[in-house]
Amino acid sequence: MLEVYIDAASAGNPGPSGIGIFIKGEGQHIQISEYIGLTNNHIAEFTALVRGLEEAQKLNSTLVSVRSDSKIVVASMEKEYVKNEEFKPFLEKALSLSNTFDLFFIKWVPDSQNKAADALARKAIQNNNH
């Protein structure tokens, strides 16, 4: 099973934003830190989810467990619904990607269990500021 830890960071809301993805399991140890431009934190969290699922799909895994400290992202995936129209395209893309796996789970985790992805997201913003 692949464990995909995702997080986002924004310096301001909206502001310069980055995403962090940490994938482990099935012999993988992948770290992704990307600057995604000026956006708000929720959009950044959904962007991290979509990118994490895209990366998992490239690894041809059938079992994927995503961990996120974003309650809105986890709840939206579980309910397959989001109120805010701005988030709908991200949710639709994430649901479409999640359906390509035989088994897909998403779980909320506290910040303390998501430090690797958080550090990668913050690093993306810092690296862009230099």
Cα–Cα distance, 122 to 11 (Å, whole number): 9
DSSP 54-96: HHHHHTT-SEEEEEES-HHHHHHHHHT--S-GGGHHHHHHHHH
pLDDT at 130: 55
Amino acid of residue 129: N
pLDDT in tens, the chain (130 residues): 999 999 999 999 899 999 999 999 999 999 999 999 999 999 999 999 999 999 999 999 999 999 999 999 999 999 999 999 999 999 999 999 999 999 999 999 999 999 999 999 999 999 986 5
Closest by CA position to 7, among listed 16, 15, 18: 18
